[in-house]
Amino acid sequence: MRWQTTRFDLDLARPLVMGIVNLTPDSFSDGGRHGDTSQALAQAQRMLEDGAQILDVGGESSRPGAAFVSAAQELERILPFLREAIRWQVPISVDTCKPEVMQVVLDLGVDIINDIWAFRQPGATAVVAAHASCGLCLMHMHREPQTMQLQTMTGDVVPQVQAFLAERIDALLSMGIAASRLVLDPGIGFGKTQAQNFQLLAQQSHLKVLGPPILAGWSRKSTLGAVLSKSGHVPAPDERVCASVAAALLAVQRGANVVRVHDVKETVQALAVWNAMQLQEALT
């Protein structure tokens, strides 16, 4: 299985690690810590040294209740980073839902657009359809960031997510976008309860029938914090590293092709052990 992007035809025979680079002051995990361009570039370089194969850059937080950011402000945050990182010859993804931002970063040469709205904002499909080969990540989100956790999904979550993603695949294919450009994200934490998130993990293989590869984003999520909660104390996001690595590994075991993570080194090490085991299984 492969993923076609602007500059790279990515081999997904083994799971890839996508390192998260936040250029936002209000990210749920590390808001403001790497907001300065030089700090973010240094963080990204460390991620690559630690084994990340893709960098995912965001200039607007999608945490529950996050404030809206204009396209101009988003671009102001991410463009200085992208102008340097695009020269590194590694796949660069931009986490955005705004067509104006998509157009600018694609013109710059970015490889992947990672959209929590699955290209439902007016004009988004037209922008990416006009591009010859950029990779697209379609995520399921219930409601919107400002309200998604105020009224979470009800009922059996897996068929609902499956139906939504199937509809979005059809919409993009109808625009002439090749299926090889698509990756699917079930949207862990985006309008789902703790139980629904784990249902999506347990039954993640049900999404494989849709065709495109799967991207799993469990890193430091509040669902993991709830699992780790003890005597009313919920560990801070940066105290959820082991749980995040465990969730990433479980997702890979259930067919995830890409894992989007904050803690690259730890995830890469865990996957190295998993890959060694897989190799031995194949030989026996």
Cα 116 to Cα 94: distance, rounded to the nearest angstrom: 11
Cα 101 to Cα 99: distance, rounded to the nearest angstrom: 5
Closest by Cα among 172, 181, 140, 134 to 157: 140
Angle at 130 between CA 127 and CA 133, to 5 degrees: 105
CB 30 within 8 A of CB 240: no
Beta strands in the chain, from DSSP E residues, in sequence order: 2-4, 9-11, 16-22, 54-58, 92-95, 112-115, 135-139, 182-185, 215-216, 258-261
Tokens of 256: 């995830």
56 phi/psi in degrees, rounded to 5: -115, 115
Cα 192 to Cα 185: distance, rounded to the nearest angstrom: 14
Cα 78 to Cα 22: distance, rounded to the nearest angstrom: 9
Tokens of 19: 């390192």
Catalytically annotated residues: 221, 260
